[in-house]
Amino acid sequence: MTHRPITKKVKRLRQRQRAGGSWSIWWEPEAAVAKLGFSRLDLDPARPTWSVRQADQMNKQVALARAGGKSDARRGNTIDDLINNYRHKELPKKSAKTQTGYNGLLNLISRKWGHALITEFDKPTMRVWYETLCDTSGHRQAVALIRMMSGLFSRAELIGWRAENTNPCFRLKMDTPKQRSRCASWDEIDALCTAAGMIGATSMQVAIKLAVFQGQRPSDIRTALLGEFKQTTVLTDKGGQETVWVWSLIRTKRGTKGMMRLHPEVVPLVETIKNNPADHHQHLLIDEATGTPYTEDRFSKRFARIREIAAQKTPSVSTLKFRDFRRTFAMFARAAGIDKDDTADVLGNSAATNWQLGETYMPPQFETASRAVMAIKRPEQTRRIRS
């Protein structure tokens, strides 16, 4: 082939004949466009029509990227309009912590695309932005922003600002971030509790054991109220009755209700606090250093300090995060032979149903969740046989 595969003039489309006679075709951004996150895209000389279409599409994406701060909002609804609608109608339905995270993502989206028109977005634009984010901000941030953007476009469809089934973020073939699998060992748990005792942070000992033995999220443990813990009477397998400690809560993330027995290692810790509550406080956990309930930031810093001390004798704890204790609970429960559905009742991952707390009556979730909690036991120490 001696003539050019593409005779039409297309902006940024380049063609060059190789020494052997074949042709190379590509789309190449100039320096100013490259700064927006675009890079060279190789095209196919055997498919000139397709190559022209791809080059035109890339040029449209460049125009949209440049319009991120310049588009005329009078031609239609913008991303900022959609963000404002989402914040008023959808965001209040989320938990306080989720709202904080979402607001951060929405601010980033607004800075990038705020003045761009909703109708101008398509899948190639979102794919290029995703790839650019992966290179500049990391994979997890890229996935988080695209998912937030997808939520916005779903909202746009619901209120008629985009045609139905036109969400440009669907099926982008994003790489799934590798799931964290870190769990704590018994030695690591004990090392952390010991370190907490060394600095007088008894409340953090309680927090760690609540996470390990009760499987709840850090936010639900940090904000737990004294009134959520109480004694009640339940029926035994043999037809009798016994008085046990239970924890009943409404989970902050999903708003699901949970109720379970307290593990024997947790009971004395809760009893001590209930018998000697901090003055004028309704929270279970009070930061000893300030005499006030934990904020999220102070809770994280206190745990980081405890982990730092524990790592001096048990170096492996340096890789633990507090949220790993929830996964640790699931691992211990499964190792004890507990069914996944029973474990899910503790974690709050199963579908919530109506329930009420009575003196002698407990709902099915209480039985299954309590079974998972009570199954967790420390491994027995093996005795050495003297010869």
Q: Which domain holds residue 114?
A: 74-158
> How many domains in the chain?
3
- Residue 369 CA neighbour count, 13 Å, CB half: 27
**What is the Cα 119 distance to its own chain's centre?**
29
**What is the Cα 3 distance to its own chain's centre?**
55
Amino acid sitting at position 338: I
- Residue 254 CA neighbour count, 13 Å, CB half: 11
| Segment 224-229 long-range contacts (CB within 8 Å, at least 24 positions apart) | 224/249, 224/283, 224/284, 224/285, 225/282, 225/283, 225/284, 226/273, 226/274, 226/277, 226/282, 226/283, 226/284, 227/282, 228/284, 229/262, 229/270, 229/274, 229/284
Do 208 and 353 share a domain, yes or no?
A: yes
Do 112 and 35 share a domain, yes or no?
A: no
How far apart are the C-alpha atoms of 275 and 61, rounded to whole Å? Answer: 65
Do 326 and 225 share a domain, yes or no?
A: yes
Q: Where are the beta strands (DSSP E) in 40-102?
A: 41-42
How far, CA to CA in Å, does 95 sit from each of 92, 104, 124, 256, 321?
8, 14, 33, 12, 22
Do 214 and 154 share a domain, yes or no?
A: no
Q: Is residue 3 part of a domain?
A: no
Question: Can you give the pLDDT at residue 383?
Answer: 47
Do 228 and 303 share a domain, yes or no?
A: yes
Do 201 and 345 share a domain, yes or no?
A: yes
Question: Can you give the pLDDT at residue 180?
Answer: 77
Per-run averaged pLDDT (10 residues), the chain, 387 residues: 81 89 89 79 85 85 69 64 93 85 93 88 90 87 94 94 91 81 93 95 95 92 93 78 89 81 94 82 91 91 95 95 92 84 68 36 64 84 48
Q: Among the three residues 66, 84, 107, which one is the final residue of a domain in this structure?
A: 66
Q: Is residue 169 part of a domain?
A: no
Do 202 and 296 share a domain, yes or no?
A: yes
Q: Is residue 266 part of a domain?
A: yes
Q: Is residue 154 part of a domain?
A: yes
Do 217 and 113 share a domain, yes or no?
A: no
Do 204 and 325 share a domain, yes or no?
A: yes
Question: Can you give the pLDDT at residue 164?
Answer: 87
Q: Is residue 381 part of a domain?
A: no
Question: Can you give the pLDDT at residue 72?
Answer: 42
Q: State how beta strands 241-250 and 257-261 pair.
A: antiparallel
Q: Is residue 47 part of a domain?
A: yes
Do 229 and 271 share a domain, yes or no?
A: yes
Question: Can you give the pLDDT at residue 156?
Answer: 94
Do 301 and 360 share a domain, yes or no?
A: yes
Do 138 and 199 share a domain, yes or no?
A: no
The domain that contains 290 carries what CATH number? 1.10.443.10
Q: Is 313 helix (H, G, I), strand (E, B) or coil?
A: coil
